[in-house]
Structure 1
Amino acid sequence: MLEVLQLGFGYGEVELFQNLSFTMHESEIRVILGPSGSGKTTLLHLLAGLLALQSGDVRWQGESIRGLSEEVLAQRRLLLTGLIFQHHYLQAELTALENILVPGYLADKVDPDWGLELLNRVGLLDRAHLLPKALSGGERQRIAVARALYNRPKLLLADEPTGSLDRRNAEKVWGLMLSLAQDLGTAVIVATHDEHLVQGLPELRLG
């Protein structure tokens, strides 16, 4: 569902990567590794259409994202991709369940039962009506995982999703993220510096 063709990007005279090509299919997992400043986050932003392409191309379901209007790009991103970041970015005034339902409201596909099922899958059904301030860091990140998968995306892009968590919570969030994505047939690309968590998975090294 994702094709990356001869992708290149740099800032000024600093070239992060060039001629980068790979494809992603249903349920496939790929890990992006590299030191700080090597371009891991930049690459994810390019794949998500959050950063304008310089050279090469990115295709979602066979269609290039180059030249798409911001409105069309945002709508397709909402339906085709899920995004997880190191910080959970939950809405402070919304409950755990309401935060998970946000992508549904944006896509006009609100299904509270599906939201509750996701809450159950991440082990937080009893936290449905709590605000983020009442949740631990690990719980907030598990809510962020459920929110990213609410629209059943074809592609999940995660940027250091466990970077702010202790080892126990990191392993729990990592396992839940991959398990849920696999059940939905979602392809997953994760940028991380934690090589312990990703041992044995296909990797792409930058820098």
Structure 2
Amino acid sequence: MEALELGFRYSEVELFRGLSFRLEKAQVRVVLGPSGSGKTTLLHLLAGLLCLQAGDVRWEGESIRQKSEEKLARRRLHTIGLVFQHHYLQPELTALENVLVPGYLAGRVDTGWGLELLGRVGLEKQAHLFPKALSGGERQRVALARALYNRPKILLADEPTGSLDRRNAERVMGLMLSLSQELGTALLLATHDEHLVAGLPEIRLG
């Protein structure tokens, strides 16, 4: 993924301009900045969820600027994995069924891979449980497994540990880093918790 001279403003407030960087395979970078500095906006631009104002975003060398919503959605399904502060699990689905959702959307469901991912985040025994029976940290780990189901090239994580206690935050962070390396997935993590990501290459906003 490549960001080229990105700029964005809301009304009279300029969040950033001339922002450029690349994310290579299995590379990890952190977006740091206070609340309101544009971290979520940047991730939404990179994911093609928000219309570009200035600059461009390239997925595997291809510009997303002129693509229709339908084409972006299809390409995003196989290119981008998304993890948010709130897990957004479907309450009527089990943990395993939630992980398999991207597979249903892509037309290729692999229950074995879903169970393997749950195992990698320490939740294989909870596969049959519904989200209401899981802790906050467990729900976020299910969301991480779901984001990785289609083996995306890039994982975009927006404050994924913001609603977790320190122990669970560190566990989820460690899992994201290890699975990123294992699967060759680039990771871009937006957070305000500088202690949690100390030492990682950063992009600072605000």
The TM-score with structure 2 as length reference comes to 0.99
Distance in 2 between residues matched to 1:181 and 1:102, nearest whole Å: 20
Distance in 1 between residues matched to 2:104 and 2:46, nearest whole Å: 24
Distance in 1 between residues matched to 2:69 and 2:102, nearest whole Å: 18
Distance in 1 between residues matched to 2:57 and 2:166, nearest whole Å: 34
Give the total of aligned pairs. 206
- Deviation of 1:10 after TM superposition, in Å, equals 0.3
The AA in structure 2 aligned to 1:52 is C
- Deviation of 1:180 after TM superposition, in Å, equals 1.0
What does residue 191 of structure 1 align with? 190
Secondary structure at 2:109's aligned position in 1? coil
- Output aligned runs, 1:35-114, within 5 Å: 35-114=34-113
Secondary structure at 1:189's aligned position in 2? strand
Distance in 2 between residues matched to 1:126 and 1:24, nearest whole Å: 34
2:171 is the alignment partner of 1:172: yes
The AA in structure 2 aligned to 1:154 is K
Q: Is the 8 A contact 1:78 1:103 kept in 2?
A: yes
- Structure 1 stretches of at least 4 aligned residues deviating more than 4 Å after TM superposition: none
Distance in 2 between residues matched to 1:166 and 1:106, nearest whole Å: 32
Secondary structure at 2:52's aligned position in 1? coil
Distance in 2 between residues matched to 1:109 and 1:9, nearest whole Å: 36
What does residue 24 of structure 1 align with? 23
The AA in structure 2 aligned to 1:184 is L
Q: Deviations over 1:160-189 (max 9, x none)?
A: 000000000000111111111110100000
- Deviation of 1:88 after TM superposition, in Å, equals 0.2
- Deviation of 1:84 after TM superposition, in Å, equals 0.2
The gaps in structure 2 that reach 5 residues or longer are none
Distance in 2 between residues matched to 1:173 and 1:3, nearest whole Å: 26
- Output aligned runs, 1:128-147, within 5 Å: 128-147=127-146
The TM-score with structure 1 as length reference comes to 0.99
The AA in structure 2 aligned to 1:106 is L
The gaps in structure 1 that reach 5 residues or longer are none
Secondary structure at 1:44's aligned position in 2? helix
What does residue 159 of structure 2 align with? 160
What does residue 205 of structure 1 align with? 204
Q: Is the 8 A contact 1:149 1:181 kept in 2?
A: no
Secondary structure at 1:177's aligned position in 2? helix
Question: Sequence identity, in percent?
Answer: 76
Q: Deviations over 1:131-170 (max 9, x none)?
A: 0000000000000000000000000000000000000000
Distance in 2 between residues matched to 1:59 and 1:184, nearest whole Å: 21
- Deviation of 1:81 after TM superposition, in Å, equals 0.5
Q: Deviations over 1:37-65 (max 9, x none)?
A: 00000000000000000000000011100
Distance in 2 between residues matched to 1:151 and 1:178, nearest whole Å: 17
